[in-house]
């Protein structure tokens, strides 16, 4: 029997919530990311629990102990319990009785193995109790240790239950897969053959998965295989993966955090904001970075117009598209441009200049100032 040793298991709130369920005669098993990531030595952010207690029984036990209970997903058997300010998502064991590729009709189960069989990947179907005792109904532990991303049971069935699992497969491969193992053949076959099913998935869900995928340290291999299988074109028409690994290399070389919007801009796909239902801010960044990288703006002007971070991102993309190394001098020019402040205002032009001519004159002077490397003074520009 294998025991997990993880600091979060010793947290009083963790022990309290589990003990309350156990004292009520029920199982309390952690599952998913907290178990998987602990075994992989990765950071843990969420503590999801599975139990054979029904939602109303969970609520009764927790409320009797004075804990806050929020019915975050009551229709699917999920409650969120807050203990010492820490949220715990507690879900009753379930099994699927009907699926349509987007959502499932579930019924509650008493058996942890039944709950495990409805999960997506074997590495997400490993459980542990509050003592760290690991319960592995589907032999997922060896897959975690090997960093092997594999669907539970028949890959084709798992994908057709929820087509979003196609994108989850590539995301998990980017984050947790061993590059030397390659990709599971059955999974790739199922993802490729069912890629048209992604048309049934909402743009919001697809967008969320793509952002998580592109935020991986290096998503290049996953995205390239997505392109080969036809999955990438199914969601982002016109994508070209050539520049992506170069962008990733530049980010790593410069010590920058992964920038999902920069990486998305590198793909150069069509109608991205609509297809992924991006926020207004992300849409603006995507447009600014991509347009500047493909324009004739110099590094200084790019920094001035986009700011330091987005100006640097567009410079990285420009050089990736050209297949050249990012120049330190260009980076300095972006930095200088981001700090430059145009010294002339509309008030400086009045009363000699009026109406629409003010805007045209300001633009002319601004372009002259940028061309000077931001060196011309207010007096020189006005003269």
The helix or strand, by DSSP H or E, that contains position 156, with its residue range, turns out to be helix 155-161
pLDDT higher than 60, residue 193 = yes
CB 87 within 8 A of CB 78: no
pLDDT number for residue 72: 83
Give, in order, the Cα–Cα distances in Å from 154 to each of 138, 164, 247, 262, 286.
Answer: 13, 16, 36, 36, 38
Mean pLDDT of the chain: 93
d(Cα 123, Cα 155) in Å, to the nearest integer?
14
Q: Is the peptide bond before 345 cis (omega within 30 degrees of 0)?
A: no
pLDDT number for residue 354: 82
* Percent of residues, the chain, with pLDDT higher than 90: 86
What pairs with residue 88 in β-bridges?
81
CB 198 within 8 A of CB 163: yes
- Condensed to tens digits (0 to 9), the pLDDT of residues 325-366 reads 999 999 999 999 999 999 988 888 888 878 888 889 899 999
State the pLDDT confidence band at 222, using cuts at 50, 70 and 90.
very high
State the pLDDT confidence band at 108, using cuts at 50, 70 and 90.
confident
d(Cα 53, Cα 55) in Å, to the nearest integer?
6
Query: The tokens of 131 are what?
Result: 């003592």
pLDDT higher than 80, residue 100 = no
pLDDT number for residue 29: 97
CB 67 within 8 A of CB 83: yes
d(Cα 12, Cα 91) in Å, to the nearest integer?
20
Query: The tokens of 252 are what?
Result: 């790593």
Span 66-83, average pLDDT: 90
What pairs with residue 128 in β-bridges?
30, 134
Count of CA atoms in the C-beta half-sphere (13 A) of 320: 28
What pairs with residue 121 in β-bridges?
151
pLDDT number for residue 103: 61
CB 331 within 8 A of CB 304: no
CB 210 within 8 A of CB 275: no
Range scoring the smallest mean pLDDT among 13-27, 107-121, 214-228, 232-246: 107-121
Prediction pTM value: 0.91
Span 218-236, average pLDDT: 97
- Condensed to tens digits (0 to 9), the pLDDT of residues 24-63 reads 999 999 999 999 999 999 999 889 999 999 999 999 999 9
d(Cα 277, Cα 212) in Å, to the nearest integer?
14
Span 133-152, average pLDDT: 96
48-51 and 86-92: which strand pairing?
Answer: parallel
- Condensed to tens digits (0 to 9), the pLDDT of residues 248-299 reads 999 999 999 999 999 999 999 999 999 999 999 999 999 999 999 999 999 9
């Amino acid at each position: 029997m294998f025991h997990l040793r993880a600091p979060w298991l010793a947290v009083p709130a963790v022990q309290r919530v589990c003990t309350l369920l156990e004292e009520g005669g029920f199982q309390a098993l952690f599952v998913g990311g907290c178990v998987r990531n602990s075994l992989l030595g990765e950071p843990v952010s969420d503590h999801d629990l599975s139990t054979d207690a029904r939602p109303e029984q969970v609520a009764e036990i927790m409320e009797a102990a004075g804990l806050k209970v929020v019915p975050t997903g009551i229709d699917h058997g999920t409650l969120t319990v807050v203990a010492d300010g820490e949220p715990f998502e507690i879900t009753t064991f379930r099994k699927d009785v009907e699926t349509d590729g987007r959502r499932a009709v579930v019924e509650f189960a008493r058996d942890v193995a039944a709950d495990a069989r409805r999960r997506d990947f074997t590495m997400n179907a490993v459980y542990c109790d509050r003592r760290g005792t690991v319960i592995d109904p589907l032999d997922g532990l060896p897959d975690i240790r090997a960093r092997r991303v594999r669907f539970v049971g028949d890959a084709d069935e798992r994908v057709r239950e929820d087509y979003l699992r196609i994108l989850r497969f590539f995301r998990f491969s980017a984050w947790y897969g061993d590059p030397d193992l390659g990709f599971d053949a059955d999974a790739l076959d199922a993802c490729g053959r069912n890629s048209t099913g992604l048309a049934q998935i909402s743009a919001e869900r697809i967008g969320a998965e793509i952002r998580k995928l592109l935020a991986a340290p290096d998503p290049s291999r996953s995205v390239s295989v997505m392109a080969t299988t036809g999955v990438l074109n199914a969601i982002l028409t016109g994508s070209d993966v050539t520049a992506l690994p170069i962008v990733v290399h530049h980010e790593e070389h410069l010590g920058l955090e992964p920038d999902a919007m920069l990486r998305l801009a590198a793909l150069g796909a069509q109608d991205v904001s609509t297809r992924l239902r991006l926020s207004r801010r992300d849409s603006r960044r995507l447009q600014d970075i991509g347009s500047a990288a493909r324009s004739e703006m110099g590094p200084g002007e790019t920094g001035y117009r986009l700011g330091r971070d987005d100006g640097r991102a567009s410079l990285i993309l420009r050089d990736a598209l050209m297949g050249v190394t990012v120049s330190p001098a260009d980076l300095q020019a972006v930095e200088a441009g981001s700090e430059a402040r145009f010294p002339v205002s509309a008030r400086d032009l009045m009363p000699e200049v009026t109406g629409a001519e003010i805007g045209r004159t300001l633009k002319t002077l601004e372009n002259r100032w940028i061309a000077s490397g931001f060196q011309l003074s207010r007096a020189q520009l006005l003269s």
